[in-house]
Amino acid sequence: LLQKITYNDGLDQYRLTPKQMYAEYEAKGADVVFAFQTRNPTHAGHAYLMRTGRERLIAKGYKNPVLWLSPLGGWTKSDDVPLDVRVKQHVAILEEKMLDPA
C-alpha cells in the first residue's frame, strides 16, 4: 500500500497495519498473540472461548498471551448489530479486562 486506507466512519483508529499491530503487542509485552474473530456481539460463549484460550496458553508456559479481538466489518445481515456498536463493546471488554483472570 502506498497510503493507508481510511473510511472516515469513526473506526479508522482501530484499523491498524501489521506493523502497528506488532508494535502494540510488543508494547504490551506479549509473548504470544491469540485471535478471536466474530461478526456478532461478544456473548458468554465467546468470552468462555477467549478465556480458556488464554488459560491454555498460560498452561503451555506462555507468560503474557495477548488477545487480538477482531470484529468483522463489511457486509452484514440486516438484523446484525452495527459494526460501531460491536467495536464499542469490544473496547469496553478489553478496557475492563473482563477476559483476564481474577
DSSP 94: H
pLDDT in the model for residue 83: 92
Q: What is the pLDDT of residues 23-44, one digit of tens each?
A: 999 999 999 999 999 988 999 9
Is pLDDT of 1 > 60? no
The upper half-sphere exposure of residue 99, i.e. CA atoms within 13 Å in the direction of its Cβ, equals 29
Give tens-digit pLDDT for 46-62.
Answer: 999 999 999 999 999 99
Identity of residue 2: L
pLDDT, residue 89, reads 92
Sorted by where each begins, the domain ranges of the chain are 1-39+61-102
Place of cell 503474557: 64
Interval 62-87: pLDDT, tens: 999 999 999 988 888 888 899 999 99
pTM: 0.84
Any idea what DSSP says for residue 82? Answer: P
Contact 40, 72 (CB under 8 A): no
Give residue 33's pLDDT.
97
